[in-house]
Amino acid sequence: MAKTAGTSIPTVSKVLRGGTDVSSETRAKVMEAVQAVGYTRPAGAKGETAREEGGLSHALDLVVTHFEGSWANLLIAGVGREAAAAGIDVVLTLAEPDGDWVSRLLRRRTIGVIGTLVDPASRQFGALFAAGVPVVLIDPMSTPPSGVASIGVANWEGGRMACDHLLSLGHTRMGVVAGHARHLFSRARVDGFRAAADTTAVGDATVSVAHGGWNRAKAASATHTLLDGDPGITGIFACADSMALGVYDAVAARGLRIPEDISVIGFDDLPEAQYITPGLTTVRQPSTELGAAAVKRLIELSRGENAGVRSPSRMELATELVLRASTGPAPVPSTGPAPVPSTGPGPVPSS
């Protein structure tokens, strides 16, 4: 790896410890080399890390891509409560794509890192893996390296449940407002939905997909795209409750009603799902429990538990369908007024 970076082994080691006496240019070359080589030291392995210089740590790093939103709040609450119960403090770190947050993290003495909705293929996480920092990923955007622990929910099964519910109500022309095409958890939800539609016994079912980028306004635009492409759509699955709000906006803007004209299902079961009108039928993911489970797994890794027995693997928590008022029977297609039968010329009415 030092050869790839064009520098010395001590310099590489210094970068992976978060050392400050390295130029930004050299640091960038080392990070790029780590990513190119794909080197991953086993989590918790003994080596030249800041965590070994001062004894045991009583803190962990929670790395997030954003602080805003109900889902992030629920997850942070789960991490915070479980960590507090274990006598561990939580340091919140914002994973800015071009920031040097990883060097600051490497200089801290923490038991390890929980990464939430992050890209493990990024050079920053490559540096964490190479430094042997224990890492647990919560629903990563892309496939993590072999041996890196990840925790998520049954996204595919959640998508399947959403489609099965719409099919049970007679909907056969359906739309999906997905997140980002490259995100694993978004693809899994869409794939589960499509699988249910492809194997239904109620007849031919069609599924149209548009991407809303996990954003309310973009989801509204995606909904218009779906309905412009197929005005016959009667059921829409939004891959996040935040995007379901955008679906509501678009449906209202078109003068349509939920669920009389279009049924809507979300994913998450955020507090907003209960407060909007009509209440949102959604696939519940246990967000707080996800955070707590990640803390427990990280503590195991930092203590070397299960080492040599089995590699860290993915854990999935169950999802469940929560029924509210936003879904109903598929509307009966309008056939227009019945034609008046012609009986030929009748008598001329008298005045």
Question: What pLDDT sits at residue 57?
Answer: 74
Asked if residue 243 belongs to a domain, the reply is yes
Residue 211's CATH number = 3.40.50.2300
Asked if residue 2 belongs to a domain, the reply is yes
Asked if residue 242 belongs to a domain, the reply is yes
- End-to-end CA distance of the chain, in Å? 104
Residues of the chain falling short of pLDDT 70: 1-56, 202, 305-312, 334-351
Instruction: Of 198, 265, 233, 199, give the one whose Cα is nearest residue 330.
Output: 233
Asked if residue 29 belongs to a domain, the reply is yes
Domain boundary among 286, 310, 341: 286
Q: What's the predicted TM-score (pTM) here?
A: 0.80
pLDDT digits (tens, 9 = 90+) for 158-213: 999 999 999 999 999 999 999 999 999 999 999 999 999 999 876 789 999 999 99
Asked if residue 197 belongs to a domain, the reply is yes
Domain boundary among 252, 286, 320: 286
Question: What pLDDT sits at residue 21?
Answer: 47
Asked if residue 348 belongs to a domain, the reply is no
**CA angle centred on 112, ends 109 and 113, rounded to 5°:** 120
Question: What pLDDT sits at residue 335?
Answer: 58
Question: What pLDDT sits at residue 31?
Answer: 55
Question: What pLDDT sits at residue 332?
Answer: 86
Contact 278, 316 (CB under 8 A): no
Residue 29's CATH number = 1.10.260.40
User: What is the spatial distance between Cα 72 and Cα 91, in angstroms, rounded to a whole number?
Assistant: 15
Q: What range defines the domain where residue 249 resides?
A: 155-286
Domain boundary among 267, 286, 305: 286
Looking at the DSSP assignment, which residues form a beta bridge with residue 206? Answer: 173
What lies within 8 Å, CB to CB, of 303 at 6+ separation is 44
Asked if residue 103 belongs to a domain, the reply is no
Question: What pLDDT sits at residue 132?
Answer: 85
Asked if residue 190 belongs to a domain, the reply is yes
Counted domains in the chain: 2
Question: What pLDDT sits at residue 68?
Answer: 86
